[in-house]
Amino acid sequence: MFSGRTIILSVILFSVATVCYAEIYKYKDADGKWQFTDTPPAEKNSKVEVIQTDEGSSSNQSTRSKRPKDLAKSLKQNYPSNTPVERATLAVVSIKTPLGGGTGFFVSKDGYIVTNRHVVRPTTTAQWEKSNEQYQKNVDELASQKENIERRQKELKSMSTQLERYKKRIDEDTSNIKSIAHSDYRVYKNRYHDFKAGLKKAVKTYEKNKKLVEKQKADFNFSSTLSRTKRRFKIQLKDNSILQADLISLSKEFDLALLKLNGHTTPFIDTRNVASPSQGSKSYAVGSPLGLRDFVTYGIITKVNKHKIITDTQILPGNSGGPLIDTQGKIIGVNTQKLMADKSIGSAGFGVAIPIRVVNSEFGEIFGQ
């Protein structure tokens, strides 16, 4: 929360992207509030602004055409692998979203990518809720500042009235204490001007904060709308090249999503070649933690449940959607979150992965497993 003097735009925890990813209609509703939607507004008299995006743009097509179609071959040539874990990293990608990003990995040679649902739909996460709560706190603080200014304005008006009355009495006074009264008047007048100057500064700060919160609201609403409607995502490969992948399917029951990169042969982690994790067996998490890329962390499997695998392998924000593999590069599951002792999500505690058999059950018919 901010200090009460200056509002800090800390609400967007996922770092709002400056590039648009879907055609969004921006307009004011009947109440004068800004709305963002991926469909035209019902109000015929609305002044609508269509925000164009880079989906399907010529620049996108240009980027795609410059990439070799056989990504599996080019990545293998550029990054010779000495171990199964290194080979597995060739299939892992970073995924960029309007509210941040995560990790995914190819599961077929024709470009299907598995990731977490919350990576491509971050408005469903507790982290997004926390951002929304922070924004509401900023709104409440701004309202408190406004109430304080209105109270001080009333006080200033009262001080001005009293000062005028006091000056009038002094002017009408003919006693020998008039000079003392004038001295007191100057003290009161100086206090009045100091109070007025302080109020003027507070009003200036309030107006600045009001603009910040309004921009904050617009950015937050816009990014949230994009996150709920976005169908195409930028993916970054191991060689840092950026391509576009389409959203194919979202799991209703599990934190899983399926994307598709078209027009390329891709390296992939075979979901049929599944590891059999057991307590104490070694595991590796591959992903893009904390905004970094192409990182591998190491640990062991601590517990195996029906619908989740627990590991002490370090999993940080950004690892979501990446693969959990064994020493032979065989797939164990999809990293999804980090659980702390108090059940909250954070950077300390045990990692949770969804077993790969769940992925095959959800999307196997689509990508051919």
Note the pLDDT tens digit of each residue in 27-46.
666 666 555 555 556 655 55
Question: Smallest Cα–Cα separation from 354: which of 317, 309, 296?
Answer: 309
User: Predicted confidence band at 139 (pLDDT cuts at 50, 70, 90)?
Assistant: confident
Torsion angle, alpha carbons of 113, 114, 117, 122, to 10: -50
Contact assessment for residue 103 and residue 335, using Cβ atoms and an 8 Å cutoff: yes
At 64, which amino acid appears?
R
At 276, which amino acid appears?
S
CA 8 to each of CA 131, 220, 223: distance values in angstroms, whole numbers, following the listed order? 13, 14, 18
Is 178 among the domain residues?
yes
Is 202 among the domain residues?
yes
Contact assessment for residue 331 and residue 283, using Cβ atoms and an 8 Å cutoff: no
User: Predicted confidence band at 314 (pLDDT cuts at 50, 70, 90)?
Assistant: confident
Is 106 among the domain residues?
no
pTM of the full structure = 0.61
Domain count, the chain: 1
- Stated as kind and residue range, the H or E segment containing 203 is helix 178-229
pLDDT in the model for residue 14: 34
The percent of residues above 70 in pLDDT, for the chain, comes to 70
Contact assessment for residue 243 and residue 234, using Cβ atoms and an 8 Å cutoff: yes
pLDDT digits (tens, 9 = 90+) for 268-298: 999 998 888 899 999 999 998 877 788 999 9
At 369, which amino acid appears?
Q
User: Predicted confidence band at 211 (pLDDT cuts at 50, 70, 90)?
Assistant: confident
Question: Smallest Cα–Cα separation from 337: which of 114, 105, 117?
Answer: 117
Token pair of 357 as six digits: 């058999």
Nearest 5°: phi and psi at 163? -65, -40
Is 274 among the domain residues?
no
In the predicted structure, residue 215 carries a pLDDT above the cut 60 = yes
Is 175 among the domain residues?
yes
Domain that holds residue 46: 24-53+128-226
In the predicted structure, residue 95 carries a pLDDT above the cut 80 = yes
Is 187 among the domain residues?
yes
Is 43 among the domain residues?
yes
Is 36 among the domain residues?
yes
Contact assessment for residue 347 and residue 323, using Cβ atoms and an 8 Å cutoff: no
